[in-house]
Copies of this chain bind each other. A is one copy, B any other.
Amino acid sequence: MADTHAFLEALKQRAPWVDELLLAPELLHRVQPPHLQRLVAAYLERGGKRLRPAVLLLCCGAVGGDEKHALPAAAALELFHTWTLMHDDIIDHDALRRGGPSGHALGAQLAAADIGLTGPAAEHYGVSLAMLAGDVQHGLCVNLFLNCTNPNPALVMQLAADLELNVLCDLVEGETIDIQLADRPIEAVDLDETIRMMYLKTGALYEFAGKAGAMLGLNTTDEKHPHVDALRRFCASCGIAFQLQDDILGVVGTQEKLGKPVGSDIIEGKRTPVLLEAYARADQAQRTELLRVVGNPEATDQQVRRTIATIVELGAVQAVQAMARERIEEAHTALAAVPSSRYTRWLAGWAHYMIERDF
């Protein structure tokens, strides 16, 4: 779709603006000793689409603001996202991120290569350094945000304080619920809980990107300004749709595009909307089959493929696709309150992209 193409072009144009701040040598060189610097730089240097910064900048432009003044806040959001990834990867025991070792895995490699540590000692070194690297990225995020050149320091302070209290609490609450749900029986998990978790883990930060971009663009401290409110709601809906699409692709995507095995969410026992929808629609025999595979690291490839086929046959993927489409419709309705421009067209393209993408 043309809208999506134009959005992707706008995204590509903005990435280097963001990277100039994110990868500024004077910032990264401040981080010592070298092992810690390597971990802090790793995820940032491996790319990533810089989606959150772009959304903030486009929302700033959509209300007639100067994107230039919002650039540090935009780059700060990428750092915010990055420190949460670094800590989440420890929690989820993830060994890979953006085509390279995760922070703690890289730390363990450095411990082995440079200090001669092995086994649990190397692993603990890796976890320790990845935790500290996330802490440094969190600090760099706040520092960058507060360097916003927007002429109103009270506005910048208000937004940074909001990010560090409300967005952070939401995000960490979502992560904690994610941890806790994995130990609850499937039938005791409510679909609404998983959707709320998606809002907390992903939607809240996108919502903030929309709100902050609009408030910086309008140079207003008024969160209730109609364009601020519209863009905030637009972004929150797109953020949840993004997560729903992730859930779908985890079942019907391809390993090549996902960068991880299809069905890994199933093996990890993640309580996702697709799984809950399938379980709700399944008969007793199908439920037994699901329970044998979900959260079972010993499940064979064949069992996983069969389970995926069952989930699809039950219509669970279509049901979640419908939920994602509904979110995107809500998003478009919200966006309609903002005067149309190339910025709103790009944002509409982003909304399409959230449910069209296959990776």
Give chain A interface residues in 137-181, CB to chain B under 8 Å: 138-140, 142-143, 146-147, 153-154, 156-157, 160-161, 164-166, 168-169, 172-173, 175-177, 179-180
Measured in the bound complex, the distance between the Cα atoms of B124 and A180 in whole Å is 12
Most buried by B among A83, A146, A173: A146
For A132, what are the chain B residues with a Cβ–Cβ distance below 8 Å?
87, 91, 172, 175-176
Measured in the bound complex, the distance between the Cα atoms of B179 and A175 in whole Å is 28
Question: How many copies make up the complex?
Answer: 2
Stretch in A13-21, A32-40, A295-303, A331-339 touching the partner = A32-40
Q: A142 — nearest CB in chain B belongs to which residue?
A: B164
Q: Of B90, B143, B177, which is within 8 A of A164 by CB?
A: B143
- Given A91-B131, A161-B143, is A177 in contact with B33 using a C-beta cutoff of 8 Å? yes
Measured in the bound complex, the distance between the Cα atoms of B168 and A53 in whole Å is 24
By the criterion of a CB under 8 Å from any partner CB, how many residues of chain A are at the interface? 50
Q: A129 — nearest CB in chain B belongs to which residue?
A: B176
Q: Of B27, B30, B131, which is within 8 A of A131 by CB?
A: B131
Interface of A is mostly: helix
Measured in the bound complex, the distance between the Cα atoms of B125 and A229 in whole Å is 37
Q: Are A139 and B156 in contact, CB atoms less than 8 angstroms apart?
A: no
- Given A164-B140, A164-B143, A169-B139, is A33 in contact with B180 using a C-beta cutoff of 8 Å? yes
Min C-beta distance of A167 to chain B, whole Å: 8
Measured in the bound complex, the distance between the Cα atoms of B207 and A60 in whole Å is 38
Q: A134 — nearest CB in chain B belongs to which residue?
A: B135
Min C-beta distance of A223 to chain B, whole Å: 16
Measured in the bound complex, the distance between the Cα atoms of B115 and A177 in whole Å is 13
Q: Of B32, B161, B166, B175, which is within 8 A of A142 by CB?
A: B161
A-B contact pairs, 28 of them (CB 8 A): A27-B165, A30-B165, A30-B166, A31-B169, A33-B173, A36-B172, A36-B176, A91-B124, A91-B131, A115-B183, A117-B183, A125-B179, A129-B176, A131-B131, A132-B175, A134-B135, A135-B138, A136-B172, A138-B164, A139-B164, A139-B165, A139-B169, A143-B161, A143-B164, A143-B165, A146-B164, A153-B153, A156-B157
Question: Which residues of A line the B interface, CB within 8 A?
Answer: 27, 30-33, 35-36, 83, 87, 90-91, 115-117, 124-125, 127-129, 131-132, 134-136, 138-140, 142-143, 146-147, 153-154, 156-157, 160-161, 164-166, 168-169, 172-173, 175-177, 179-180, 183
